[in-house]
Each structure stands twice: as structure tokens, then as C-alpha cells.
Amino acid sequence: MVSQEQPVPPEQETPAESRGTELELTATAADWPANQQPLWRTHPKHWPDIWRRSIQARIVTGTLLMSTVVLLLVGWVMMSQVTDGVLESRRASAQAEAVAQLASLSNTINAADPTTINQQLSELVLGSNRPGLYDVLLVPTDSSASNAIRYTGLVDSDSIPTELASSVMSDDSKLWDTYTVINYRDGPSVPGLVVGSQLRVTNERYAVYFLFPLTAQQETLDVVQNALITAGLLLVVLLGAVAWLVTRQVVTPVRMARRIAERLAAGKLEERMQVRGTDDLARLAVSFNKMASNLQRQIRRLEELSRLQRRFVSDVSHELRTPLTTVRMAADLLHETRDQFDPISRRSVELLQNELNRFEELLADLLEISRFDAGAAALDLEDVDLRDIVNRVLENHETLLQRKGCEVQLDMREPCRAQVDSRRIERILRNLIGNAIEHSEGLPIRISTAYDEDAAAVAVRDHGVGFRAEEAEMVFSRFWRADPARARTTGGTGLGLSIALEDARLHGGRLDAWGSPGDGAYFRLTLPRRSDVTLSGSPLPARPPDASRVVTEKSLVDVGAPYQKLTGGEER
């Protein structure tokens, strides 16, 4: 048999250790919680958590994304305008140059000897060339003509787009141009501008094309593009840094306030924010500190009232035991000799005995509650089968079951063993089963047991009057009754479910309740099978499978969680 003491909440920090503590409104990486470390010190798998939890991360990321989109749009517009301006300027100058060269070439051809002009065309084309500025290509318009194509600078005739050639062939009165890629027989291809028109030589027509390389313009545009990219990247980084600094000025005090609030919730009531300046954040710190001071005063006052209340209940309960013992002895003596009394006196003695039994039960419950409040309750663990405890409780309630005419349906096919304090578990089940019988209105009740690897559970289901969903959170309150005017046959004190809840919590288990008016009630007790197990679920459902009405489930108390206390005050 193993004895286990009740877990006691950590003691409150003494005022000498925490009084006057002030937190700086600055934060370093070492001070941050593990889930709020800087991004560069966090594993990538935790980045989604940082995105969900950190306002600063979302603001900085959003600023970077929006500034990147804006800069891309601005860069695209600026690059388009610069490109159009540079190319349009080069196009205008190329057209002017082509018009001048066409006029000069036409005058030269007209002044030449018509009989030898075809032999002189190559020299004339070479004479009109400007090396480095443009090349000239002379193509006969008659595809069947035997005249060869004249060109300069080893330029390839494939450089002329088909659409431009068709336009030049279709109209000899216009100057046509387009952008293309100029191919050379002895070098790499370069972007260029082609300007074309027709030229008459004796009785034949030729298409003359001036090919202007745009290498210088391309280099200029590359320089502008690189400058825009570099400036954009620097601006994005600068905007990100500005966003980080600005949000840090706001988020850091909020983060400090959150950490102080967590410490206040943990019972360190002396924590305060440091006030600097007179801005909005400073006023927030002042208001926060005032709130903390008011909470501290109220909590101290409530703690004192709670301490006095617990001491009063404990003292009164102990002090009543001595006179109650004397009254009990006298009442027992009268009860044993009641047959010698007249009917009225005999009935009075029986009433006195019944009320003394109820008074002793109430006194025992008060003493048990005072032990829970004082943290003095302990467990006496042993390995037992919960079915045996259920059967033992049913035997004790046999008389009540017969009087109520209530049928008990058992769903306990397999052993359900766990390390528990059988006395306390029997008390829990005695309360649950007793309440089910009392409120069943003569309808059957069902008791189920189940277990898994870590937990064992017992559920008690009745089909009586039930209770409303809004009353579900109050069924475990001390002295609370759904219907104070109801006639009670078991003489309950109103502390049974409250004590049952404390017993379940002491085991590290949980006690859940579900109810629906006219559909009965359902209580589920879940216990860890071993003392070193932390509950994560239950082998039985949280609401009865045969519920005829769909109502909201309310898991009333998760008693597997630690006490939620600020200091040493009673949990409410």
C-alpha cells in the first residue's frame, strides 16, 4: 500500500523577495520566452508559431512584402519609361541618319554612268557605311534577279525581319523601321534597329536597309536596371529595419506588460511596470500599475476573508464535536428506551435521532472540506477493481433502491483496475449513485466502467429530472441545490458533489457532468490508473450515448490541471 501526499501549490514569494520589483521596458534575446526567440535563432519549423504569436513579426513581414510589391511596380514603371525614352531618342536619330544617307546614295547613283552602275553598287554601298554606327544592306526587290545582295560589315541578311521586308516591298514612298537582332557572320548577335526603304537603280528596284546596333543603349539600360535593383533592395532592407524599430518601441512594452500579467497571475503580486516619460505607453504603464495595486489589495483582502472563513469552519466543526458527542449519547439512550414512551414522545425521539444523524453527516463533511482547504488531505493508494467498489456501494443503497423501485443496469464486463484510495473513491461513487437513485423518478439508472492504457472511468446515468445547461457549472458548488424545495429522502448536506470533486482532483483525475431537463443527468469519473500518469482523455464519452436531446456538452471541471491560485487563496 502506497501513501501519497496531496500536491501542494508553490508557496507565494515573500514580500521581502519581490517588493518593489520593477521591470525595464527593454528586452534582450536572452529574456525572451522560448517561443519568442529572434527569427535567426529559431528553428524553421517554429516559424509558423512565431507568425501566429508575434505582432512584430507580422508587421515587419507585411511591411517587407508590401514595400517589395510597391518597389517592383515603381521599378517596372521607371524602367519602362527610361527604356522608351532611350529607344525613341535613338530611333529618331536613326531615321534622320537613314533619310540623309538615302538622299546621298540616290544622288550618287543618279550621277553615275547607267551602263556601269551595277558593277559600282558594292563600292557605293561600302561608301555609305559608317563603321560602328550602322551597316547597310542592299537587296534586290525582284527575287528572280541575278543581282547579288550587297552588304557592309559582314552583316547577315537574316537580320531583316520578314514583316519589315514585306512592308518595304509593298510601299516605296515610306521609311519603315523595327527593332530586331542583328546577326553578323564573324561575331555575336546584338540588339538593333533596322530602317528600310526602296531605292531605284536604272530599271531595277532595291530594298536598302540601315542596321543600327543598340549596344550602347543596352549598356545604358543595364546600368539603370542594376541601379534600380540595388536601390530597391537597400530601400526594402531600410523599410524593414524602420518597421522593426517602430514596432519594437510599441511591442516591447506590451510584451513586458504581458509577462508581468503572467507573473501576477502566478501569485507574484508585487510586480510592477517601470514608468518612463509621459507618452501613451507611460500612461498605460501607470494604469497597469494602478490596476495591479488594486488587484493586490482585493486579493489580500479576499485571502484574509477566506482564511478566516476556513478557520471558522474548522474551529466550529471541531468545537461542535464535544457537545454533539454528549447529545448523541443522550439521544441514543432515549432511542433505546423509546418503546416505554407515549406515542408523541416516541416520535420525538425518532425525529431527534434522525436529525442527529444528519447533523453528524454535515459535521463530517465540513471537517473534510476544511482538510481540503488546508491542503492536509492525503491519499492511501492501493490497486483495486472499480467494479468491486461499485458493487459495494449498490449493496449499501439496496434499501433505497427498493423504496424507489429503481432498476440498476450494469455495464461492467471487464476488470477495471487502478491505483486509488478506495475509501475516497467509494465516497465519490456513493454520492453519484445516491443522487442518481434519488432523482431518477423510479426510472432505471445505468452504471458503466471502462479503461484504457492510462485511465479508468466510471459513469452514472439516470433518466430523472436532470438539470439545465446553465446549472451545469454550479452542481459542484458547496450547498448548491437545483431545487431547494425538493423533498429529500436521503438527507444530503449539499456538500457531496463538492467533496467528490475534491477527491477526484486529489487523485489527479476529473469529474464531468452533463444534464438535460427531462432527460436526466450523466456524471463521469475519470482516474489515472497509476499515480505517475497525467490524464489526456477518458475511455468513456463526455455525454451519454442515449441522450434524446442535443445539448451543449459542458466539461465542468478539469481536475487534472493544477490549482489555479494566485497565492494561497481558495479556488473559486
pLDDT digits (tens, 9 = 90+) for 269-315: 788 877 877 777 788 888 888 888 888 888 888 888 777 777 776 67
Task: Please indicate, yes or no, whether the overall pTM of this predicted structure exceeds 0.85.
Answer: no
In angstroms, the CA 460 to CA 445 distance is: 7
In angstroms, the CA 405 to CA 437 distance is: 9
Q: Which of 472, 456, 454, 450 is nearest to 521 (CA)?
A: 472
Give the pLDDT confidence score for residue 32 in this predicted structure.
Answer: 42
Grid coordinates of 504: 477526484
In angstroms, the CA 69 to CA 255 distance is: 30
125, 138 Cβ separation under 8 angstroms: yes
Exposed (0-12), middle (13-18) or buried (19+): which is 471, by Cβ within 10 Å?
middle
Domain map (residue ranges) of the chain: 1-17+269-376, 22-111+214-267, 131-213, 381-567
pLDDT in tens, 45-104: 666 666 677 777 788 888 888 989 999 999 999 999 999 999 899 889 988 888 887 887
For domain 381-567, the CATH architecture is 2-Layer Sandwich (3.30)
pLDDT in tens, 453-487: 889 999 999 988 888 777 777 788 776 665 554 44
Give the pLDDT confidence score for residue 354 in this predicted structure.
Answer: 81
* DSSP type of residue 30: T
Confidence of residue 449 (pLDDT cuts 50, 70, 90): very high
Q: Which of 150-164, 244-258, 487-501 has the lowest mean pLDDT?
A: 487-501
Only one residue has cell 543618279, namely 110
Grid coordinates of 280: 501613451
CATH class of 1-17+269-376: mainly alpha
Calculate Rg over the CA atoms of the chain: 48
Give the pLDDT confidence score for residue 18 in this predicted structure.
Answer: 35
* Neighbouring residues of 225: CB distance < 8 A, sequence distance ≥ 6: 79
pLDDT in tens, 168-186: 888 777 888 889 888 887 7
* Neighbouring residues of 119: CB distance < 8 A, sequence distance ≥ 6: none
Backbone angles phi, psi at 66, to 5 degrees: -65, -40
Average pLDDT over residues 13-23: 36
Sign of torsion over alpha carbons 549, 550, 551, 553: positive
In angstroms, the CA 433 to CA 444 distance is: 12
Identify the three-state secondary structure at position 255: helix
* Model confidence at 387: pLDDT above 60: yes
Confidence of residue 2 (pLDDT cuts 50, 70, 90): very low
Identify the three-state secondary structure at position 57: helix
pLDDT in tens, 213-258: 888 888 899 999 999 999 999 999 998 888 888 888 878 778 888 8
Confidence of residue 121 (pLDDT cuts 50, 70, 90): low
Q: What share of the chain has pLDDT > 90, as a percent?
A: 13
In angstroms, the CA 426 to CA 395 distance is: 12
Q: Comparing 182 with 554, which gets the higher pLDDT?
A: 182
Give the pLDDT confidence score for residue 234 in this predicted structure.
Answer: 93
CATH of domain 131-213: 3.30.450.20
